[in-house]
Homo-oligomer: A and B are copies of this chain.
Amino acid sequence: MPQAAKITAVDALPANEAKWIEFQKITWSDQEGKSRVWEAASRKTRGQSGVDAVAISTVIRHPSKPPSTIIILQYRPPADAVCVEFPAGLVDASETPSDASLRELHEETGYKGKLSYISPTIVSDPGMSTANMQLATVEVNLNEGDKEPEQVLDEGEFIERVVVPLDELFERLEKYSKEGKKVDARLWHWAAGLHFARTML
């Protein structure tokens, strides 16, 4: 039975000790030709694809259950909380973002599906970091009686997957939030767009 993860110390990280991220001092010429400086964080792991990460919006269709998606719950030290996210991960050095999407979905949730769409490269938090990603849509078609597949997690990886009917997604995220979990902004926005279409248009 795993115990609750928790932070034991937060220290300043000297730039020369950082392995995964780095700080950039970006000098840029603005719209009036004036030289200015911007500070940004950057991942050091970006590979050939030029894309740091992928996330996967899955649609599970089943003969007798409502259309659903899969979200994952995992403790994230930067948020010091269990975060609620779409399945996601970094793109390996020589992998395509499409391949990474199917691989990550399989590892984190056990499900294998068909990629029906992948977004262009989008930027995660462009006022603060150079991080970018692509959002894939993967369709999973189940038959009556199909068993829930096994996750393929690394040792020391604790990821809970939850299948949620799309109709209930927004309310489920509100509920997790009230419980003290932190919802990823991108998943929240996707669910809010879906909810908006169904309630305000």
The answer to whether A28 touches B6, judged by C-beta atoms less than 8 angstroms apart, is yes
Residues of chain B within 8 A (CB-CB) of A190 are 189-190, 192-193, 196
CA of A20 to CA of B25, assembled, Å: 11
CB-CB under 8 A for A189 and B135, given A34-B156, A123-B76, A128-B78: yes
Chain A residues 47-88 with CB under 8 Å of chain B are: 53, 57, 59, 67, 75-79, 81, 83, 85, 88
Q: Are A13 and B25 in contact (CB under 8 A)?
A: yes
Chain A positions near chain B (C-beta within 8 angstroms): 2-15, 17-35, 38-43, 53, 57, 59, 67, 75-79, 81, 83, 85, 88, 119-133, 135, 137, 156, 158, 166, 174, 177-178, 182-198, 200-201
Q: Which 6 A-B pairs have the closest CB atoms?
A: A193-B193, A2-B31, A41-B41, A197-B197, A38-B77, A13-B23
Seed contacts A31-B156, A125-B131, A189-B189; 10 additional CB < 8 Å A-B pairs: A8-B28, A11-B27, A14-B23, A24-B78, A26-B77, A78-B130, A121-B182, A123-B185, A137-B192, A194-B197
